[in-house]
Chains A and B, each alone.
Chain A
């Protein structure tokens, strides 16, 4: 294999696909940490010049972890529709980029071709896209799903109500939940990150959130984002669960570090179909994020974007209701500043949509990253333009349990007004019925958590 180009008179040669894929990325501290980033700005572009000429089949034939060593690779490779793959395999990565962007390529055509792609092929084309390319292309690929309501329909923007509390106090969580509902947050899910992963605490929060959903007849679903084994125990004991959650990683070794496997997720998904209270058919919720495999030293020498694409390939197996990258959560050693976080957010959303999963984004940052709330608001605007399914809703964007900042309860209504979008249709009708929204705008009663104190 010869992978070589000249650029401004200088010759650049890349030993293999792994190095080529790493060096073709936009600059990220995580790729530098992994030793796969480009050494110079020119080398970065040289890598892209070469990558643009590589046939898609060569990318498929070089998975990040060998087939016989990794069950995530096996899930992805075995999931490929070989006849559709046959239509795309001889295109170069550069040609595939142009095919996606062409006005003659319809959303249906892209959704169909997804079936013939592996995660590495999706990662490859992402590396050749500019930020606006990523927005424009993702907007062409709406992906919807249904649980108690429909997420991802064009013209809608949903919001996960994330009422986390530093001690899992049911009263405190309920207060935040009320605040969020009064802003129209919660059509994606009422989803709590628990401090205490025990069965008793998790089941208590499931009961409390289900009670609110029933009392107010809210067309949504609940979820407590504990380890999947705890939720399995809850399901078997009859707790009311809307969505079953797990954080996933792009390699078997990474999933080992989360204490999960494909077999365990298969089991959880089967239980969800049997026990979850909503109509479905989509019951799973996954979170991901560039750098998670590297942080567990489970990246097999590959770049973080490619490992992230493999998360989506794994998620697709379970027909999830929603998947989101927690894009700035991991910290500056993987995504250093606002520019890198914004780039990764756009990449992840596009890759998820091209994979064919209903993709949202937790647009966020930690206090030790070089970013601030303005950077995250910018990212949310870019992602809304790109057709992102949902964002998080957190009181003033300040998560009092996870010690990070993301989008506020105020942001979804703002973005909806800014882009003429609505909540999920069932949820919007509910908001209109109880008098919190009219014609897509919050009413005078909205923004008041005490609205929900008495029915």
Chain B
């Protein structure tokens, strides 16, 4: 097809669309209606020109945030057998129930809320833990063998389980050895999880350890850390118990869930079967970080008493 023909077809299509009111003539200087004020919209929003004043002069879309707890608890079941019952059921869980259906599919609001939650999680994935928080607890930072940023961290878990040589040197220099309890913080897959829970959990673990008459080693932060880093730390510091607080992979619209992985005298070759874990640590719906802190100290005492962790502790 030559260019002249193509241009003619494009022109004909545009003419039809204009006649139908879908495309505004280029010469139009129709003012923006007040209700879609450009001043209040984010600067990245592309102005949308009204197609015809008779269609939308009173169109006024100004939505509340659908992600508030109240909005999430609104039921959408058509003609429920027990409307109050649906609300009570919904209040018992953070899972997306009472959402209703369109045929066998979900309703539009539930579909878009899910997509919104996924979107914000995607946007938050590649962030680092706030340095101010680490400073607050005097945590020095060491790094694993990951050198290529978050992308490499995601693709090479093996590197995230090993401390680099510089890290080993710094830990040897700064950390007290042969302690009862060694607390370590790792970013794992969510910086937000550490930021949301550390302020509450750190003091409980520290004070709980000291109240139990146990020695509390020099805590530090590991960047690009996987759970397997426990082994390297156990070998270097030789503590009775290592507690690793680490960010879990982000859930939908919720990146603040943290885990505490623990091992008794971790060493090279130890696996998940040698470890215990308290997972889902977060406020409002998960294991509360204060309670989790106390629980973790209890587990550590049990490990010391039985000189075991993981499956061996369970069988003890």
Contacts and interface: CB of A to CB of B under 8 A. Distances in A.
A169 interface: yes
A256 B122 contact: no
B235 interface: no
A449 B86 contact: yes
Interface string A386-397: 000000001111
Contacts of A410: 101, 104-106
A143 B114 CA distance: 35
B145 to A, nearest CB: 14
B184 to A, nearest CB: 21
Interface in B85-123: 85-86, 89-90, 92-101, 103-106, 110, 114-115, 117-118, 121-122
B249 A366 contact: yes
B280 A163 contact: no
B86 A257 contact: no
Interface in A330-350: 331-333, 336
Nearest to A180: B97
B33 interface: no
Interface string A158-195: 00000111110101111110110001000000000001
A420 interface: no
Contact of B272 (A29, A172, A257): A257
Determine which residue in A33, A165, A368 has the highest number of CB atoms from chain B within 10 A of its CB, and name it. Answer: A368
Contacts of A296: 271-272
Contacts of B66: none
B236 interface: no
A33 B311 CA distance: 28
Interface stretch (B44-52, B153-161, B168-176, B198-206): B153-161
A448 B114 CA distance: 20
A432 interface: no
Determine which residue in A166, A169, A171 has the highest number of CB atoms from chain B within 10 A of its CB, and name it. Answer: A166
Contact of B114 (A32, A331, A396): A396
Contacts, number: 179
Nearest to B93: A172
A374 to B, nearest CB: 10
A447 to B, nearest CB: 4
A199 to B, nearest CB: 10
Contacts of A258: 272-273
A178 B92 CA distance: 12
A449 B97 contact: yes
B208 interface: no
B285 A166 contact: yes
B94 A166 contact: yes
Contact of B97 (A169, A175, A372, A413): A175
A259 interface: yes
A175 B89 contact: yes
A396 B118 contact: no
Nearest to A451: B81
B86 to A, nearest CB: 5
B104 A414 contact: yes
B280 A33 contact: no
Contacts of B30: none
A306 interface: no
A212 B210 CA distance: 46
Given A368-B250, A447-B77, A450-B83, A373 B118 contact: yes
A246 B104 CA distance: 32
A447 B273 contact: no
Contacts of B310: 259
Interface in A244-266: 256-259
Contact of B104 (A167, A395, A442): A442
A164 B110 CA distance: 19
A453 interface: yes
Contacts of B117: 398
A144 interface: no
B251 interface: yes
B12 interface: no
A45 B6 CA distance: 42
A157 to B, nearest CB: 12
Given A166-B285, A169-B92, A396 B106 contact: yes
A106 interface: no
A331 B125 CA distance: 14
A417 interface: yes
Contacts of B271: 256-257, 296
Contacts of A399: 251
B251 A373 contact: no
Contacts of B187: none
Contact of B251 (A33, A175, A295, A367): A367
B116 to A, nearest CB: 12
B273 A256 contact: yes
10 contacts: A33-B157, A175-B95, A179-B97, A333-B157, A368-B125, A395-B95, A403-B252, A417-B103, A446-B101, A447-B100
Q: Which 8 A-B pairs have the closest CB atoms?
A: A172-B93, A403-B251, A259-B311, A396-B96, A450-B85, A450-B82, A175-B89, A257-B271
Interface of A: 29, 32-33, 163-167, 169, 171-176, 178-179, 183, 195, 227, 229, 256-259, 295-297, 331-333, 336, 366-368, 372-373, 394-401, 403-405, 408, 410, 413-414, 416-417, 442, 444-451, 453-454
Interface of B: 77-83, 85-86, 89-90, 92-101, 103-106, 110, 114-115, 117-118, 121-122, 125, 154-158, 189, 248-252, 254, 257, 271-273, 279-280, 285-287, 310-311, 314-315
Given A257-B271, A395-B99, A448-B80, 15 more contacts: A164-B95, A166-B280, A166-B286, A166-B287, A183-B104, A229-B314, A258-B272, A367-B122, A367-B252, A398-B96, A410-B104, A416-B104, A417-B104, A448-B77, A450-B86
